[in-house]
Homo-oligomer: A and B are copies of this chain.
Amino acid sequence: MSETRRRPPGSTDVARLAGVSQKTVSRVMNGEPYVSDEIRERVLAAARELGYRRNTAARALNLGRFHRIGVVSLGSTLYGPASQLIELERRARAIGYAFSVVNTLEGDDSGVARAVESLLEQGVDGIVLSEPIDVGEQLRIEPGVPVLSLGPLPGLAGPDVIINSPSNVDAGREATEHLLGLGHATVWHVAGPGRWWASRERVRGWRAALAAAGAPEPPMLEGDWTPASGYAAGRVLAADPEVTAVFVANDDMAIGVLRALAEAGRAVPEQVSVIGMDDIPAAAYLSPPLTTIRQDFAASVAQGLALLVERIEGRPGASAPDLPTTHLVKRQSTRPPKEKT
């Protein structure tokens, strides 16, 4: 007569088997003090026997917490965002939080707001905006749910908003300084989409480095992170003999730039130096192997999540220092310019 369709065992079932009260089972499962070793053992044995597992729903209902953080991602397969997402999951799980993702399509303006709403509906204690891009509307977040934005975002405001960003300005500066340091008169830039905060920051770093060196600022090209857009920008650059050094805002676009330069017969690095960013696994195996800037997502993500969880759990928490999270990987796509033209 198995009319009960295999309802998973509850703490009451364990309690019955162990001959204790339901509350005692709860105490044991939560590792609370004031339980004798003998009873603790008996409860654990009973739990093991029944395959007992705490019911998350009941727990969340009672505690008012889900122990879950939600992430709004753009759903791209780009190396940078993907790495960051993986790192977020790793960290979240390490500190005892489950991990939900909602992807929004870039270009869908109401996407972010809808994604946030969807996360709130499914129940999360905090939200991470993984790749901050400008959204058309003002983004108003339900008070009570802290939001961590991995980069500042105009239009995103509220008492529960935390901003914590990897140092993209530094990255842009470092790339540009590397090329200037090799002796190039100036450095061209193929930027990412202007809507992305990360793009704009890299541009700022580039500008800052040029200004500091007193180098003229060439017109900026803009891509959309894809090799195709890099290729388009590369054709423009290849047509200009003045161009001797290019900072491309990610490695994928750099692949396109490399291709365009090769097709135009502009040798890299002999005639044109190219530096990318991200250090994708393929970077070392391109022709030529690509000099690039690598970001340490692990550190910045860990720091951001720590801030978020502090806010969620209401602890004060010492705000960690800003670590340097970016460094140059020298390969063979950059070198000093040829003597004179």
Contacts and interface: CB of A to CB of B under 8 A. Distances in A.
Contacts of A6: 143-144
Contact of A285 (B59, B103, B228): B228
Contacts of A82: 77, 82
B122 A227 contact: no
Interface string A241-284: 00000000000100110110010000000000000000001101
A218 interface: no
Copy total for this chain: 2
Q: How large is the interface on A (under 10, 10 to 19, 20 to 34, 35 or more residues)?
A: 35 or more
Contacts of A282: 227, 252, 255-256, 282
Interface in A126-143: 142-143
A285 B120 CA distance: 41
A8 B144 contact: yes
Contact of A54 (B7, B121, B228, B284): B121
B57 A123 contact: yes
Interface stretch (A93-101, A146-154, A171-179, A183-191): A93-101
A230 interface: yes
A125 B285 CA distance: 43
B77 A86 contact: yes
Instruction: Find the residue from A121, A226, A285 having the highest chain B CB count within 10 A.
Output: A285
A75 B90 contact: yes
Nearest to A123: B56
A53 B262 contact: no
Given A226-B281, A227-B282, A227-B284, 8 more contacts: A56-B66, A57-B57, A77-B82, A99-B101, A101-B101, A227-B285, A228-B281, A258-B287
Interface of A: 6-8, 51, 53-61, 64, 66-68, 75-77, 79, 82-83, 86, 89-90, 93, 98-103, 118, 120-123, 142-144, 226-228, 230-231, 252, 255-256, 258-259, 262, 281-282, 284-287, 289
